[in-house]
Every structure is written in C-alpha cells, then in structure tokens.
Amino acid sequence: MRIGEIAALVGLTTRAIRHYHHVGLLPEPERRPNGYRAYSVRDAVLLARVRRLTELGLSLDEVRDALADDAGRELAEVLEELDADLARQEADIRERRCRLSALLAEPPGATGPVSPALAALLAQAPRTDSPSAAKDREYLTLMDATSSGSQEIFALLGTLVADPAVVELYERLDALAEAPADDPRIAPLAADLMAAVPEELFAAIPEDGAVVTGFKEALLAEYTPAQAEVVGRLMDAFMERGRG
Amino acid sequence: MRIGEIAALVGLTTRAIRHYHHVGLLPEPERRPNGYRAYSVRDAVLLARVRRLTELGLSLDEVRDALADDAGRELAEVLEELDADLARQEADIRERRCRLSALLAEPPGATGPVSPALAALLAQAPRTDSPSAAKDREYLTLMDATSSGSQEIFALLGTLVADPAVVELYERLDALAEAPADDPRIAPLAADLMAAVPEELFAAIPEDGAVVTGFKEALLAEYTPAQAEVVGRLMDAFMERGRG
DNA sequence: TAGAAACCCTGCCGTTGCGTCAAGGTCAAG
DNA sequence: CTTGACCTTGACGCAACGGCAGGGTTTCTA
C-alpha cells in the first residue's frame, strides 16, 4: 500500500503518518524503487492501534510506551493515569461551565463577574456618582479577583457601606481634587475616615509584604496630591495597626 | 508597581504579562527612567479581568474581543459559544472515559480493545496455534478498528467460525508455507474455502475502490507464494461476487 | 501521445500560551 | 564592592500535526 491508501484504510491523514515516522512512533517502511513508502498490513494494524490510543487522549509518547512490546504492564498503568487526568479535566470543565452560566445569567454588571459577597456589598451601597466611590468599587473588584481572603473583608465592609454617611465622606474626598497637598481639609477628612472604619477591619487586611509597597505607590498615583495625602494616611494606619 | 509586583498581585507570571503586551492584549504601560514598566492599579484591574476570562477557557483573541470597550454585546455571544464548546468537550471526555473503563476492565486481550461483536467472535473461535489463523485474527482486529460496517460481517462469520472444520482449513493453508506456487493442493483448498463461506458474506464486504487494490497486494505480500495463490483466489471471488 | 489529475517526496513555517534560557542593566542591602 | 533579587530584550521550545512550496511519478483521458 502507498501512504494515501493506508491512511484512508485506518482513518488518518498522510501527514499524521509521516509525523509518526518522524517522531519514531512507527518505523519507516521499505521504499518502492520510485521512493514511495510501501506499507504492509502489519503497519495498518499498528497504525490502527495508534489511532485508538490517541483517540483516547494518550500523547504520542504514551502511545510509544504502550506499544513498546511489553504492552500489558505499562499500558494499564498509563491508562489509569489517563483516566485520572480526564476526571480532573471533566471536573474542571464542569466548574468553568458553572461559573459561565452564572456569568451569562447576569448581564447588567458591566464590571464582569464578581463573587457573591462582593455583589451583595455593591447592591447594598448607596447610589452615588462620586468618582472616588467609583474608584473604590473598582479596587474592590480587583481585590475580589486577586485576594483570597476577601470574603470576610467584604462582610465587615457591609456594616460600613450601609451607612449613608459614607457618601458624604466620598464627596469630601472628591472636593479635594484640585486642592494643594497642604489643604486644611485633609487632616479632618482622614480622621473621619479612620473613625468610620470598624476596628476588626484593621486586623483583616492581609499583609503581602513587598507586593503592598508597590501597590500603595501605584494606588496613590491615581489620586491628585491632596487626595493622595488622605488616602496615604489611611493606608499607613492600616499597615501600622495591621502589624500591631 | 513593577511587573513582578503586579504579577504577584493578580496571580500571573511576569512572562504571561509580557506576552499579553506582545500580542496586544494589554498596551505597554509607561516606563520608569530605568526602563522598568510602571503599572497602575487600572492595569491590575484589567489583568484581573483577563485572568478570569482566560481561566474560563477563552483564547487570548476572544479575551481581546471581549474587553474591546463595547464589552456587553460581544461578550455574551462569545461566552455562549464557549459554553457550547465546553459542552462538546465534556461529552467527548465522558465518552473517552467510558471506552477507557471498558478497556481497563478487560486486561487479558493483549491485542488491544475490540468491539463487542469481534470479542464475541474471537471467544467463539476454536483454539488453534495455526499461524494463518493468527494472521486472520489480526486482520479481523484491523477491520474492527477501521471498517465501520464490520458488525454484520462479524455476525455472519460467527456461523462460519463455530464450525470446527475451519481449523483443518487453516492447517491446510499452513502446510503450503514452503510449497511452490504451482502446488497441486492449491486449487482444492481454495475451492473448499469458498464453499465454507456463507453466501451472504460475499455481499456484505464493502467496496472501497482504490483502497482495496493496494490493500490486496499488501495482504498477499504477507504470504508465501503458494499461500498467496490461495488467498488471492479467495479475494478475487469476493471482489467478483461483491460486484455482481 | 501529450496533458491534466491525482498521487508521492522532502522540508520548512505556523499554530497556542506561555516556559525557559541567554546575556545583559538596575537597585537595595550587607 | 559584591551579592542577590529584580528588570530588560530576544530567541528557541513544546504537541500534534496543517499547509504550502517546489519538485517527481503514475495513470487516466482527450
């Protein structure tokens, strides 16, 4: 048989068969005088075996091991491992589909998918157009996606957010947008903000060490000087009390 | 933030982030005077979004589309498509695991996995050490793996194989191993073989056209001249009666 | 008998989503 | 002043082939 014939017979492409030769899965057969590969029925049997195994999901390396004459022993081992792997993949896919369906069911949130804890928090928050509040929501979404222990933090924030007084605090921060770094409103706002934070929250903030340093700078860079002053004092307070 | 910091923050590798820049998924951020990339919190938010979407199984191209500002519309579309794809994969894996478990449950057959029809046939066949019979079993396994309509053929063969007389036919074929191509035993053996084949079987053999031509030659090459003579006559009979 | 269709050959690039060097520059601490 | 831990660009590697280029062979057909 020529390569096209055996390919059609076992249901592979000629390219795949040549590839198997190339990687040493199947030895190159004899050649006809014109250079064409001349396949035997044995080759077809072997290729059929290869096809069944690859269709099961074995890699070519695994197929090579499984076909390495001592078949029985190795094969069962590889197959069990493969089954475990497939089980993992199946569970993985199921979980993804689960999250996907949750995502498809909730189109209004343009921010993307969020955890239930954060969703509850955002729903609870008073409506406001404050840019500072918008930023805060963004950062919360970030925490939600990155920090693992954010659930309890969101729960603690719930009590804070439910208070309509926070809107006023956000607006006072907004008002500092164009102010200089030594504006007299900075200190009292920082004090009021810290007073509004429940005590347990200071302990709940995770301490990621080096990461926090860079993050803090980046965060401050998002604010105008006077606002950064306020936010910076808040963060310093968190870092100090978090340690102690 | 430097790249290592933001990477740790959102749970990606620095290499992945640079890759995202490279493929245009995320624009290159500003640089510090020393050439380091300087990331903002916005970038972290974006990267967190990318991470969530890639974890769901979207390709980077799809993520790019989904993040392309007009989010809402495109995204739902892509996600639904993705869900359908995942459903396919899930079904696929389930089927593979199914075949795998069937394979693991039956370790004795060193020939590899076979269809139930063929398994029944082989179990029914009388025990013999005839090399010709071994070859036949091998070719049947090949048919089982390649030819789709082999079920009915196996069923028809069942009546043939159940007859203990076939063993004698195989042994007569074996006996021709060293014989010349004009051995007088050839004609009667071919006649007896053809007589043993049930009439329906001639019609059941599929006609694959060109594939058969090459396959026939390869098959004959597996036998010694006298044996090939016998097998060749059988095959010719099949091809003629199959047509008519 | 020539030309076209349908084969075959080798070899190399492209795919996906990064990992992994290589060969350097930068920065804080000991 | 030297580690060591960062950062930079650039290029190759991976799995399992698909596709194309640039040729030769065989076979069917007009």
Mean model confidence pLDDT for chain A: 85
Answer whether residue A164 is part of any domain: yes
Amino acid letter, residue A215: F
Answer whether residue A158 is part of any domain: yes
Shared domain for A48 and A163, answered yes or no, is no
Contacts of A61 (CB under 8 A, 6+ apart): none
Amino acid letter, residue B13: T
- Cα–Cα dist B170/A106, whole Å: 70
Answer whether residue B179 is part of any domain: yes
Shared domain for B131 and B232, answered yes or no, is yes
The C-alpha angle with vertex A87 and arms to B98 and B145, in degrees rounded to 5, equals 30
Q: What's the Å distance between residue A33 CA and nucleotide D24 C1'?
A: 13
The C-alpha angle with vertex A48 and arms to A43 and A53, in degrees rounded to 5, equals 125
For residue B30, how many C-alpha atoms fall within 13 Å in the half-sphere facing its CB? 10
Q: What is the CATH number of the domain that holds B7?
A: 1.10.1660.10
pLDDT of residue B156: 82
Q: What's the Å distance between residue B196 CA and nucleotide C13 C1'?
A: 56
Out of B1, B41, B96, whose CB is closest to A57? Answer: B96
Shared domain for A95 and A141, answered yes or no, is no
Answer whether residue A177 is part of any domain: yes
Q: Is A124 on the interface with B (CB under 8 A)?
A: no
Minimum CA–C1' distance nucleotide for A17:
D17
| Cα distance between the two ends of chain B | 81
Answer whether residue B204 is part of any domain: yes
Shared domain for A92 and A123, answered yes or no, is no
Residues lower than pLDDT 70 in chain B: 70-74, 106-113, 148-149, 206-211, 241-244
Contact B41 A219 (CB under 8 A): yes
- Cα–Cα dist A158/A138, whole Å: 16
For residue B31, give the 3-state DSSP assignment.
strand
Answer whether residue A111 is part of any domain: no
pLDDT tens digits, residue range B219-244?
999 999 999 999 988 888 877 766 53
Shared domain for B120 and B232, answered yes or no, is yes
pLDDT of residue B71: 61
Minimum CA–C1' distance nucleotide for A32:
C8
Q: Is A83 on the interface with B (CB under 8 A)?
A: yes
Q: Is the CB of B214 under 7 A from strand D?
A: no
Q: φ, ψ for residue B98 (rounded to 5)?
A: -60, -50
In contact, B168 and B130? CB cutoff 8 Å: no
pLDDT of residue A112: 61
Answer whether residue B108 is part of any domain: no
Q: Tell which of A101, A136, A153 closes a domain.
A: A101
Shared domain for B141 and B238, answered yes or no, is yes
Contacts of A16 (CB under 8 A, 6+ apart): A7
Q: φ, ψ for residue A31 (rounded to 5)?
A: -115, 150
Structure tokens at A24: 């040493």
- How many domains, in total, are found in chain A? 2
- In angstroms, what separates the C-alpha of B226 from chain A's closest C-alpha? 19
Burial grade of A244 (CB within 10 A; 0-12, 13-18, 19 or more) = exposed
Q: What's the Å distance between residue A3 CA and nucleotide C5 C1'?
A: 18
- In angstroms, what separates the C-alpha of A185 from chain B's closest C-alpha? 26
- Cα–Cα dist A154/A137, whole Å: 12
Shared domain for A120 and A239, answered yes or no, is yes
Range of the domain at B208: 116-243
- Cα–Cα dist A174/A22, whole Å: 67
Q: Tell which of B81, B107, B140 closes a domain.
A: B81
Shared domain for A161 and A211, answered yes or no, is yes
Q: Tell which of B58, B81, B104 closes a domain.
A: B81
Shared domain for B34 and B122, answered yes or no, is no
Contact B55 A96 (CB under 8 A): yes
Q: Is the pLDDT of residue A26 over 50?
A: yes
Shared domain for A95 and A12, answered yes or no, is yes
Amino acid letter, residue B121: L
Shared domain for A238 and A142, answered yes or no, is yes
Q: What's the Å distance between residue B117 CA and nucleotide C9 C1'?
A: 40
Answer whether residue A46 is part of any domain: yes
